[in-house]
Copies of this chain bind each other. A is one copy, B any other.
Amino acid sequence: MSRTTDFESKITIAEVARAAGVSPMTVSRVLNGRGGASAETSERVLSAANQLNYRPNPFARGLRSDRSKTIGFLVPDITNPFFPEIIRGAEDAANAAGYNLLLSNVVESSKREAELIDAFLIHRVDGIIVCSPRLPDSALHKALAPHRAAVLINREAPKDVAGTIMTDYEYGASQAINHLVERGRRNIAIIAGPRNSYGGKCRLLGIGKTLAEHDMKAPEPVYCDPTVAGGRTAAERLLAAITGLDALVCYNDLNAVGAMQACRAAGIAVPHQMALIGFDDIPIAELMSPALTTLRVHKREMGEAAVRLLLSRMMTKNKQHGVVIEPELMVRETT
């Protein structure tokens, strides 16, 4: 009956109360399971609420409780296939706990990042999750401070500033290097992604250490946007500058796709003359040909873990710090 549906949204707790023959307060108690109502009264209230299709007004609730049941979720670029999976995981975990996600994209500058973290304040989100922030530490901590709770994904922060869900990029990078060395590669270069990426620094650290264990050394890494185009130009520069390269470790899979394009354009066979390895394991990695060897990041799990950690930090005073998740080497056809 669309006639009733049209009025649904106007039902208040007072009307439910009237229908059930009790006071609004009793309805509130019953609906929030606070006790203090007899079994039969509860019954009456519940059925009245059901009948009228009552929905508590979130504005009124929020006004009293100063809780929105909403989590702000900030990603650099939803168009990058790395992030939707994380969002999915986060959304599932949030919904399961009765929370919703308010999503925002950064896209441009790190200034914009601070603005958006700030904008969440206006919406009175109960907490925020920020994916791969690029802001320098001090600015990031300052932006996070006014929020009641915060969790970072792929970035570390002091325990009292934010919780942290980290991929162990250092270990992943180490696996990548060992794998390449096993395959007999000796001249490995690095496409390093954005200069101010925390995860990027971790990768570089792991790469450096592991190369050293093999008494090897890579040329100066080339920084670039974390996109296909960024990867291609970075690879072009490396190929032009250095001869004899036989492997490229890329910041992420999109960069690796770009590197593959550059190789193809230069007539370099992958993996025969050049090995390619990426990070993330986005869907295209498996679909391209040759299929991309990459370090799978458990995106969905990270999203879920982030929400769970945030909720726990929202509820309790002794803040848990975080979780480290190991990436997994997916050996395919480019190495």
Which chain A residues have a beta carbon within 8 Å of chain B's beta carbons?
Answer: 2, 5-6, 8-9, 55-63, 66, 68, 78-79, 81, 84-85, 87-88, 91, 100-105, 107, 121-124, 142, 145-146, 228, 257, 261, 264, 283-284, 287-289
Contact = CB atoms under 8 A, between A and B. Distances in A.
A103 B107 CA distance: 18
A306 B228 CA distance: 29
B57 A5 contact: no
Contact of A78 (B61, B87, B107): B87
A231 to B, nearest CB: 11
Contacts of A264: 289
Contacts of A78: 78, 84, 87-88
24 contacts: A6-B146, A8-B121, A56-B122, A57-B63, A58-B62, A59-B62, A59-B63, A63-B63, A78-B84, A78-B87, A78-B88, A79-B84, A91-B103, A91-B105, A100-B104, A101-B103, A257-B287, A261-B287, A284-B284, A284-B287, A287-B288, A288-B288, A288-B289, A289-B289
A288 B286 CA distance: 11
A122 B88 contact: no
Given A6-B146, A101-B102, A101-B103, 10 more contacts: A9-B124, A57-B124, A58-B123, A59-B60, A62-B62, A79-B84, A79-B85, A81-B84, A88-B107, A264-B289
- Residue among A60, A68, A78, A88 facing the most chain B CB atoms (10 A cut-off): A78
A217 B40 CA distance: 67
A88 B18 CA distance: 46
8 closest Cβ contacts across the A-B interface?
Answer: A59-B62, A59-B63, A5-B146, A78-B84, A2-B145, A103-B103, A59-B59, A79-B84
A79 to B, nearest CB: 5
A79 B287 CA distance: 15
Contacts of A261: 287
A87 to B, nearest CB: 6
A16 to B, nearest CB: 15
B146 A55 contact: no
Nearest to A101: B103
Given A59-B59, A63-B57, A145-B2, A121 B88 contact: no
A146 B284 CA distance: 40
